Amino acid sequence: MTERDDTAWAAPGGAPTPPSGAVWGPVPGTSWSPAPGPEAPGPSPAGPAPASSPGPMHGAPPPAPSFASWQPGILPLRPLTFGDYLAAPFKAMRANRSVVLGGPLLLTLVSVIATTGAMWLLFTEPSLGLVDPASQATSIRAETVLVAIVAVVSWLLADVFSSAIVAPGVGRAVLGERITLGDAWRAVRPRIGALLLLYVLVALAAAALVAVVLAPLLLAFAGDDAAAGLGLSLTVVLAIGSVIPALAVSVVAGLARPVIVLERRGAVAALRRATSLIRGRFWFSVLVLVVAGLIIGLVSGVLQQVGSLVAFAAMFALPEAVWLQGILFALGIGLSLVISYVLTYSYMGGIFALMMIDMRIRHEGFDLELARTAEARRAR
């Protein structure tokens, strides 16, 4: 694969020094960063060249991209419409399926395997007596607790990295390029610390919001009837008032993940960047996420119900084979969960990556830079 400069998605004033062997930037001589403003350094303003110096004007702007470069990939390079948001993630799944579907699938499979192991150990735990009612064990085995902890951690990490690893695949699909899962992982791997810190910060913000909402309930337990009524009333008011902050946290945190990966920013800087990008388009973004969540939630719910029906049908069909019942039940539930989670991570991760691209097009003229990059790559 041809090496590329790593400043592809760098924001104004935030382009990092690309590491050796990076694969995410444009071809030499192009840039995905927005064009500099009037105050940026440029050609000397010394006036027109003398008539005796008919040489080429080195400060002339680059030629305009051709028509074909305005849709090099899955989308035309313009501000995205509501329909683009809903349809483009599926196009990205087809264009870069090894990344957009393969990444979440791999991470989800690891989590499902760990969860299956934890459920198996729990099912065969002697202290619970599910397999052997005559067991005299009174304490849970250490390996059961350890595997259960590993399963929980694996799901947390899958949630952190699944949508993050989708971002490079979507970004390259916009330019009509295919990348491998290894390429995407090389983009995500240096950002692991920032992604984990972002997850912690968002969890703390959510916990603080819940604490503020539930704090008045202390009055309900510590005081008389009048205090209890006041506490419940305040809790209801605060719960209603917390809807907008909760939406803001969800939108900004989701947008910060592709910013961390594609623009190579830290967690706090990515949150600031996401906040600035979303200005003026907050409620439109909320509408997109709500509708997309309803669509993917409906599909996931149907898949999980089908898996549950298959699992219970197997149990009724084989009433005497307890072990086979357990295996078929785990397979039915597990497969439906894997498919639904992979679709959710791929679809929602794609929407947040597209949202970052759309906001940069609207605020920074990013479509011009993407078109020039596509034109330069077509000319190679």
- Mean pLDDT, rounded, for 190-216: 93
CA 131 to chain centre: 41
Q: Tell me: pLDDT of 22 over 80.
A: no
2 pLDDT band, cuts 50/70/90, is very low
Mean residue pLDDT of the chain comes to 79
Whole-angstrom distance, CA of residue 59 vs CA of residue 153? 55
Q: Tell me: pLDDT of 183 over 60.
A: yes
Residue 49 has a pLDDT of: 41
Q: In which residue are the tokens 């087809």 written?
A: 94
Residue 358 has a pLDDT of: 95
> What percent of the chain lies above the pLDDT cut of 90?
43
Q: Tell me: pLDDT of 1 over 80.
A: no
- Mean pLDDT, rounded, for 118-146: 70
Contact 150, 184 (CB under 8 A): no
Residue 27 has a pLDDT of: 34
Residue 129 has a pLDDT of: 57
Q: What is the DSSP string of 56-122?
A: --TTPPPPPPPGGGGSSSSS-SSPPPHHHHHHHHHHHHHHTHHHHTHHHHHHHHHHHHHHHHHHHHH
DSSP-derived letter for residue 171 is: H
Contact 231, 223 (CB under 8 A): yes
Where b means 16+ CB within 10 Å and e means fewer, 21-46 reads ebbbbbeeebbbbbeeeeeeeeeeee
* pTM of this structure: 0.78
Q: What is the DSSP string of 270-287?
A: HHHHHHHHHTT-HHHHHH
Residue 5 has a pLDDT of: 41
Whole-angstrom distance, CA of residue 368 vs CA of residue 248? 29
Residue 223 has a pLDDT of: 63
375 pLDDT band, cuts 50/70/90, is confident
Whole-angstrom distance, CA of residue 31 vs CA of residue 52? 34
Whole-angstrom distance, CA of residue 261 vs CA of residue 270? 10
User: What digits encode the pLDDT tens for the residues 266-290?
Assistant: 999 999 999 999 999 999 999 999 9
Q: What is the dihedral of CA 132, 133, 134, 138, to 10 degrees?
A: 90
